[in-house]
Amino acid sequence: MESNKVLVVGGAGYIGSHTCLELANKGFEPVVYDNLSNGHEEFVKWGVLEKGDIRDRKRLDEVLARHKPRAILHFAAMIEVGESVKDPVSFYDNNVIGTLTLLSAALAAGVEAFVFSSTCATYGLPESVPIDEQHRQAPINPYGRTKWVCEQALKDYGQYKGLRSVILRYFNAAGADPEGRIGEWHEPETHAIPLAIDAALGRRQSFKIFGTDYDTRDGTCVRDYIHVLDLADAHVRAVEHLLSGGDSVELNLGTGTGTTVKELLTAISEVSGREFQVDLVDRREGDSTTLVANNDKARDILGWVPKYGLTDITRTAWNWHSRRNQGA
Residue closest to 102 by CA, chosen among 141, 47, 136, 53: 53
Stretch that binds ligand UDP, among 16-24, 150-158, 203-211, 236-244 (CB under 6 A): 203-211
**CA-to-CA distance for 134 and 163, rounded, in angstroms?**
22
191 binds ligand UDP (CB under 6 A): yes
Supply the minimum distance, in Å, between the C-beta of residue 119 and ligand UDP. Answer: 8
Alpha-carbon distance of 243 to 276, in angstroms, equals 48
Q: Which stretch binds ligand UDP (CB under 6 A): 54-62, 105-113, 131-139, 185-193?
A: 185-193
> Which sign does the torsion angle of CA 36, 168, 156, 80 carry?
negative
Q: Establish whether 143 is a catalytic residue.
A: yes
Print the binding letters for residues 84-123 with ligand UDP: x by CB under 6 A, - otherwise.
Answer: ----------------------------------------
The nearest distance, CB 139 to ligand UDP, in angstroms, is 13
Find the angle CA(240)-CA(242)-CA(244) to the nearest 5 degrees.
65
Task: Judge if the upstream peptide bond of residue 306 is cis by omega within 30 degrees of 0.
Answer: no
Q: In the complex with ligand UDP, which residue's Cβ is closer, 211 or 246? A: 211
Which of 3, 37, 90, 190 is in the footprint of ligand UDP by CB under 6 A? 190
In angstroms, give the least distance from the CB of 258 to ligand UDP.
11
Q: How far is the CB of 255 from ligand UDP (least distance, A)?
A: 14
Near ligand UDP by CB under 6 A: residue from 192, 229, 236, 313: 192
Annotated catalytic residue: which of 123, 143, 214, 308? 143
Backbone angles phi, psi at 17, to 5 degrees: -70, -40
Among 195, 243, 278, 301, binds ligand UDP (CB under 6 A): 195
Q: How far apart are CA 38 and CA 83, in angstroms?
A: 14
CB of 136 to ligand UDP, least distance (A): 19
Smaller CB separation from ligand UDP, 62 or 198: 198
Q: What is the dihedral of CA 298, 302, 303, 307, to 10 degrees?
A: -60
- In the chain, what is the straight-line distance between the N-terminal and C-terminal CA atoms, in Å? 44
Going by their DSSP bridges, the two strands 222-223 and 259-260 should be labelled as antiparallel
Nearest residue by C-beta to ligand UDP? 221
Which residues lie below 8 Å from residue 189, measured CB to CB, with a gap of 6+? 195, 198
SS3 16: helix
| Count of residues interacting with ligand UDP (CB under 6 A) | 13
Of 222-281, binders to ligand UDP (CB under 6 A) are 223, 261
With CB under 6 A as the contact rule, which of the stretches 17-25, 55-63, 136-144, 207-215 interacts with ligand UDP? 207-215
Q: What minimum distance in Å lies between the beta carbon of 186 and ligand UDP? A: 10
- Residue count of the chain, please give it: 328
- In angstroms, the CA 233 to CA 195 distance is 26
What is the gyration radius of the CA atoms in the chain, in angstroms?
19
Site string for ligand UDP, 48-77 (x = CB under 6 A): ------------------------------
Q: Which amino acid is at 290?
A: T
Distance from C-alpha of 323 to C-alpha of 61, rounded to nearest angstrom = 39
**Residues forming the site for ligand UDP (CB under 6 A):** 172, 190-192, 195, 208-210, 221, 223, 261, 284, 287
**Positions marked active-site:** 143
